[in-house]
A and B are shown apart, each in its own frame.
Chain A
Amino acid sequence: MFALEFPSIDNLVKWPEYLFEGTFAGFNKISLILVLAMLIPTVLFLLAKRDLVPRGIQNIVESIVEFVENQIIMAAIGPEGMKYLPLLLSIFLFVFFGNIFEVIPTFQMPANARMANPLILAVVVWVTFIGAGIKAQGFGGFMKSSLVPPGTPAALLPLMMLIEFISTFLLRPFGLAVRLFANMLAGHILLVTFGVLCITLWTLSPLVVVLPFSFGMLVALTGFEMMVAFLQAFIFALLAAVYINLSIHAH
């Protein structure tokens, strides 16, 4: 009678395809969120006026651009990193709007709670920081600065190079992708858990007195997830900038 029937993980993260079912372009809720994560900031940028004294949406758009410039690029790379503004701004906005659908009614699913989007973005960052490193230091210089820590004894070089290779070229993108994916999936499961708990308590009359506490937690966690949505976008873009900075500068 008091059993809590929790939906399976497949019910939480897998969505049926609405269009192109069964093809490589099968369009489901995640795809829709990704399209919206592209369209919403695009519309915001298009609606922003070009006044010297900013108002309304222009304020929001310019604040976002300034945030990425000052808190991500200047903090992690410096003035020379400004050429990466389009990429880092795209990553920040795409991750944020992909995440924020976690708390938007009827969607209530972050696109980044599926591995595909974090993986694609991590691959983009991976390609970018390798390309930036090769461009800045040349292939040999980049590989040397990436794989050979300064002051490494000759005897330890093979081992260190192996460790650095795994760390730089495999774990960095993997860590980027998994951090975002795991955080958003955990948040999603947390919200679902309290949602299920609220529904269950509502239908179990003896325990309905506990419902306000559970509902309060659900509301609080929804606010928390909004913060996480922003924080994960910021961390992803900041780490991308840090990796680019590490690539373009030799030890």
Chain B
Amino acid sequence: MSLLLIIAAEGPAKEADNPILPVVPELFWSALTFAAFFLLIKFVLLPPVKRTMDLRAEAIRSDLDAAEAAKASASSAAGDVDDQLAGARAEAAAVIDAARSEAETERQSILAQANAEVAKMKELAEADLAAARSQAMDQVRPKVAELATSAASKAMDRTIDVEAARPIVDSYLSNSN
């Protein structure tokens, strides 16, 4: 059975040359089409494509540069914020220390003042107490003298002058304190 391929259906060309060797018409068309294609690529087809690609590369580069600058700016701002924060913290610590020191001074002052007032009040109270005691003694003393004299008179069964015994009673009361 005879078989022919689709690709071979058109049959062989006329020339019976070596099929490996190039033939002039194919050389001609090859040179013509490649030359035309090269000129089209060089002067018509490639330049706009390259221009677009270059524009895009430039836009990307520009965006990257802008992003880099923004990043550096943000980094710098963050550094500034950190510096300011550290300054504020230091300032706050100084204020706190100063306040603490002032408060301590104030406390010591108030404490000293209170102590002084307490001491003064204590002195006054003691003075009042002494005065009250003295006043009480003064009030009690005649009665005690009369009572003691009366008791002594009864015990001794003789009359003792109150006024004469008063110094003795006073001396006794004074010593008993």
| Chain A contacts to B: CB under 8 angstroms | 5, 7-17, 20, 23-31, 34-35, 37-38, 41-42, 45-46, 48, 50-52, 54, 58, 61-62, 65-66, 85-87, 89-90, 93-94, 106, 108-109, 111, 114-117, 119-121, 124, 181, 192, 195-196, 199-200, 203
Whether A87 lies near B38 (C-beta < 8 A) is yes
What does the 1/0 interface line of B19-41 toward A look like (CB < 8 Å)? 11111111111110110111011
The residue in chain B whose Cβ has the minimal distance to the Cβ of A49 is B52
Whether A38 lies near B36 (C-beta < 8 A) is yes
Contacts of A117 in B (CB 8 A): 26, 30, 34
Whether B33 lies near A10 (C-beta < 8 A) is no
A/B interface sample: 10 pairs, CB < 8 A: A8-B12, A10-B13, A23-B25, A51-B52, A89-B41, A90-B34, A90-B38, A93-B37, A114-B26, A116-B27
A69 → B minimal CB distance (Å)? 9
CA distance A90 to B25 in the complex (A): 21
Contacts of A181 in B (CB 8 A): 20
The residue in chain B whose Cβ has the minimal distance to the Cβ of A19 is B25
Whether B37 lies near A38 (C-beta < 8 A) is yes
The residue in chain B whose Cβ has the minimal distance to the Cβ of A35 is B33
Q: Which of B53-61, B90-98, B108-116, B137-145 contacts A (4 or more CB under 8 A)?
A: B53-61
Whether A14 lies near B15 (C-beta < 8 A) is yes
Whether B29 lies near A46 (C-beta < 8 A) is no
B40 → A minimal CB distance (Å)? 6
A42-B37, A114-B22 are contacts. A5–B3 as well, Cβ < 8 Å? yes
Do most interface residues of chain B lie in helix, strand or loop, or is the interface mixed? helix
Q: Does B158 lie at the interface of the complex (its beta carbon under 8 Å from any beta carbon of A)?
A: no
Whether B7 lies near A116 (C-beta < 8 A) is no
Whether A116 lies near B30 (C-beta < 8 A) is yes
Q: Indicate which residue in B8, B23, B46 contacts A89 across the interface (CB closer than 8 Å).
A: B46
Contacts of B24 in A (CB 8 A): 24
Whether B34 lies near A124 (C-beta < 8 A) is yes
Q: Does B66 lie at the interface of the complex (its beta carbon under 8 Å from any beta carbon of A)?
A: no
The residue in chain A whose Cβ has the minimal distance to the Cβ of B27 is A116
Contacts of B7 in A (CB 8 A): 12, 108-109, 192, 195
Q: Does B171 lie at the interface of the complex (its beta carbon under 8 Å from any beta carbon of A)?
A: no
Whether B22 lies near A14 (C-beta < 8 A) is no
A45-B45, A119-B22, A203-B1 are contacts. A16–B10 as well, Cβ < 8 Å? yes
Interface residues of B in 70-102 (CB under 8 A from A): none
Apart from A10-B19, A89-B41, 9 more pairs, CB < 8 Å: A5-B3, A34-B33, A38-B40, A54-B52, A86-B41, A89-B46, A94-B33, A106-B6, A119-B27
Whether A24 lies near B28 (C-beta < 8 A) is yes
Whether B12 lies near A29 (C-beta < 8 A) is no
Whether B13 lies near A86 (C-beta < 8 A) is no
